[in-house]
Amino acid sequence: MLEYGELAAPLKRAASLVRDVPDYPRPGILFRDLTPLMADAEAFAAIVDKMAEKAPKAELVAGIESRGFLFAAAVAARLGVGVVPLRKPGKLPRVAHSVHFALEYGFDSLELPDGCVRSLERVVVVDDVLATGGTLKAACELLHKGGALITGALVALELVGLRGRDRVAHHDVQAVLTV
């Protein structure tokens, strides 16, 4: 159950629409499914508005594939800035940089499209869920390689117990919902 305590009514509604799916995608993982939340106009708007409100100063939003794209694009539109997708391998026609990183089980990579980030451009990173923080850490490393100045990270939901923010402790990480 999510913590409803301090939240305003539309955010409470959003929190109530997070669906817990046990043993997905592997036994032992409690997957926090945000699709019912995103499908609800009021809840999705409340989350995106709050993410935009919490956003540090930025000239560009970077979204992490793939669920992060949905929040990143909406937040960028609210902030009046552009959005750049950090993609899984094999998706981009022109790659500027890539990072390879360890997940709980196995490895993954993220790639930065060529020609989308200017040197020292202020970028905020957006994802749907902060879990162990490995993906967010890799995204920050990738943007750093690309010359960006990371001003912070925004997530819709943080799984606090996994302490993912400790892996990106030198960045300002803001979460709208926590559990």
DSSP symbols for 74-143? HHHHHHT-EEEEEB-TT--SSEEEEEEEE-SSSEEEEEEETTSS-TT-EEEEEEEEESSSHHHHHHHHHH
Active site residue 111: no
Nearer to ligand AMP, 80 or 161 (CB): 161
Closest approach, Cβ 109 to ligand AMP, in A, equals 13
Closest approach, Cβ 138 to ligand AMP, in A, equals 8
Write out the residues near ligand AMP by the rule CB under 6 A.
29-32, 64, 67, 127-136, 159, 164
Q: CA torsion sign, 73 to 79 to 83 to 85?
A: negative
Closest approach, Cβ 4 to ligand AMP, in A, equals 19
Query: Containing H/E element for 32?
Result: strand 30-33
Nearer to ligand AMP, 70 or 117 (CB): 70
Nearer to ligand AMP, 9 or 48 (CB): 48
Nearer to ligand AMP, 115 or 161 (CB): 161
Q: Which of 3, 42, 53, 104 is catalytic?
A: 104
Bridge-based pairing of strands 95-102 and 173-178 is unpaired
Closest approach, Cβ 105 to ligand AMP, in A, equals 11
Active site residue 19: no
Q: Which of 13, 59, 67, 78 is catalytic?
A: 67
Q: CA torsion sign, 87 to 92 to 95 to 96?
A: negative
Catalytic residue list: 67, 104
